[in-house]
Amino acid sequence: MEESALRREDKKVVAVVGAGLVGALNACFFAKRGFEVEVFETREDIRKAKVVKGRSINLALSHRGRTALKHVGMEDKIVSKGIPMNARMIHSLSGKQSPIPYGKKGQYILSVDRANLNKELLTAAETYPNTKLNFDHKLQDWSAETGLMTFARPHGSKTQTQADLIVGCDGAFSAVRKQFLRRSRFNYSQTYIPHGYMELTMRPRNGEFAMKPNYLHIWPRNTFMMIALPNLDKTFTCTLFMPFEEFEKISTGDEVIEFFQKYFPDAIPLIGAATLRRDYFRLPAQAMVSVKCSPYHIGDKCVLMGDAAHAVVPFYGQGMNAGFEDCIVFDEIMNQFNEDFSAVLPEYSRVRVPDDHAIADLAMYNYVEVFSPALWSSGLLVIHSLEA
């Protein structure tokens, strides 16, 4: 087992585990403060990878996410590569389209490319001389007493490193969180919803977007729905949310077309029948989990942020945005308590747990309601709300 001592000079070492969206942004926040930042990511460097595996291709960036990006000077760069969505566009069964604005004239949320956002944040983190990105490092175990972490490397070897603070940003199935589960008075719950999701691509038509680009398109169908967000390459990523048992009922290309003919007839010529027949079977539908826990810290050694602390179902469009806001809230508490981890960490749990739990609850309420065409036409729904 190879051993490496991370401590350089007398600066405190912060290990960020997970270089997804929240981990990469958080690395910038800690680097800006002058800590020695070591980021550990199980995947290879996605900036060099041929295929980037992961969840949704694009996501909606709203006010709270933008504010966090602004703190590390990244807002303009990300916004310039986003597509404004001023309203939702509700598609009825008959093909009628009705816009529902997000806010006042000129207000919008942004459709951003997940992989590009992640890459830009990694590059931003790397520009700090006090930050090191370690890819192909999968956290296996760590000690809450010493801060010693054990990582698995690609060819079966292991490496150990130590940090003053471990920041768990390793997503909904967090390995950092496993230590919390072994401790007394840690509350934890996880719920898988009966729906899964599947992504389909709507290609450009005659070099232009196949639908109006500045909208989040929604086809609500009572017990399931499809949404579509625009991409810079003039495609739309369509996401079908449906109970797993319904996905499983469709097993042939003809059945896919029959299903779309019944529920999303206007989408067939836009996606293309041949594409639908093929792409529906490319990947199985993916599960969605909601995770709630508290507290978010252990002593002065470890803190959870992003999906590791609060994975939410995506019907409020706030998972990443809330994770980004975690970074700002932590940063503000660091100012308040002069970077004293023994005071900052408990205060962070105290302040942040209720807010994150509220977002998880809102996302669950929306999950129940968002499929209803009647509620959409009543104007009572707030999916991807601007203020949030």
Q: Give every CB contact of residue 387 below 8 A, 6+ residues apart in sequence.
A: 63, 103
Rule CB under 6 A: choose which of 13, 14, 16, 19 binds ligand FAD: 19
* Residues 148, 264: Cα–Cα separation, whole Å: 53
**Residue 168 within binding range of ligand FAD, rule CB under 6 A:** no
**Residue 196 within binding range of ligand FAD, rule CB under 6 A:** no
Q: Which residue, 340 or 387, has its beta carbon nearer to ligand FAD?
A: 387
Cα–Cα nearest to 14, from 47, 318, 214, 33: 33
DSSP string of 226-261, one letter each residue? EEEEE-TTS-EEEEEEEEHHHHHH--SHHHHHHHHH
**Residue 113 within binding range of ligand FAD, rule CB under 6 A:** no
Q: How many residues does the chain have?
A: 388
Q: Please report, for residues 239, 320, 331, 370, 376, the alpha-carbon distance to residue 262 in angstroms, rounded to integers and kept in the order given.
A: 17, 34, 50, 20, 20
Helix (H) or strand (E) holding 123: helix 114-126
Rule CB under 6 A: choose which of 11, 55, 70, 132 binds ligand FAD: 55
Rule CB under 6 A: choose which of 14, 15, 20, 356 binds ligand FAD: 20
**Residue 170 within binding range of ligand FAD, rule CB under 6 A:** yes
Instruction: Give the interface segment with ligand FAD, choosing from 14-22, 261-269, 333-341, 365-373 (CB under 6 A).
Output: 14-22
Least distance in angstroms from the C-beta of 336 to ligand FAD: 24
Contact predicate 98/89, CB 8 Å? yes
Rule CB under 6 A: choose which of 320, 345, 362, 363 binds ligand FAD: 320
* Residues 267, 260: Cα–Cα separation, whole Å: 8
Rule CB under 6 A: choose which of 323, 334, 363, 367 binds ligand FAD: 323
**Residue 60 within binding range of ligand FAD, rule CB under 6 A:** yes
Residues 79 to 98: which contact ligand FAD by CB under 6 A? Answer: none
* Residues 263, 238: Cα–Cα separation, whole Å: 14
Helix (H) or strand (E) holding 343: helix 341-369
* Residues 231, 236: Cα–Cα separation, whole Å: 6
Size of residue set near ligand FAD by CB under 6 A: 33
SS3 (DSSP) at 384? coil
Q: Which residue, 289 or 343, has its beta carbon nearer to ligand FAD?
A: 289
Which residue carries 């747990």 as its tokens? Answer: 353
Which residue carries 């019907």 as its tokens? Answer: 315
Instruction: Give the interface segment with ligand FAD, choosing from 74-82, 159-167, 263-271, 311-319 (CB under 6 A).
Output: 311-319
**Residue 43 within binding range of ligand FAD, rule CB under 6 A:** yes
**Residue 18 within binding range of ligand FAD, rule CB under 6 A:** yes
Rule CB under 6 A: choose which of 23, 147, 168, 346 binds ligand FAD: 23
**Residue 216 within binding range of ligand FAD, rule CB under 6 A:** no
**Residue 231 within binding range of ligand FAD, rule CB under 6 A:** no
Least distance in angstroms from the C-beta of 268 to ligand FAD: 22
Q: Please report, for residues 221, 238, 258, 309, the alpha-carbon distance to residue 92 in angstroms, rounded to integers and kept in the order given.
A: 9, 16, 17, 37
**Residue 347 within binding range of ligand FAD, rule CB under 6 A:** no
What is the x/- site pattern for ligand FAD, positions 118-157, by CB under 6 A? --------------------xx------------------
**Residue 314 within binding range of ligand FAD, rule CB under 6 A:** yes
Structure tokens at 34: 């002058």
Which residues contribute to the site for ligand FAD (CB under 6 A)?
17-23, 40-43, 55-56, 59-60, 138-139, 169-171, 175, 197, 239, 288, 306-307, 314, 317-321, 323
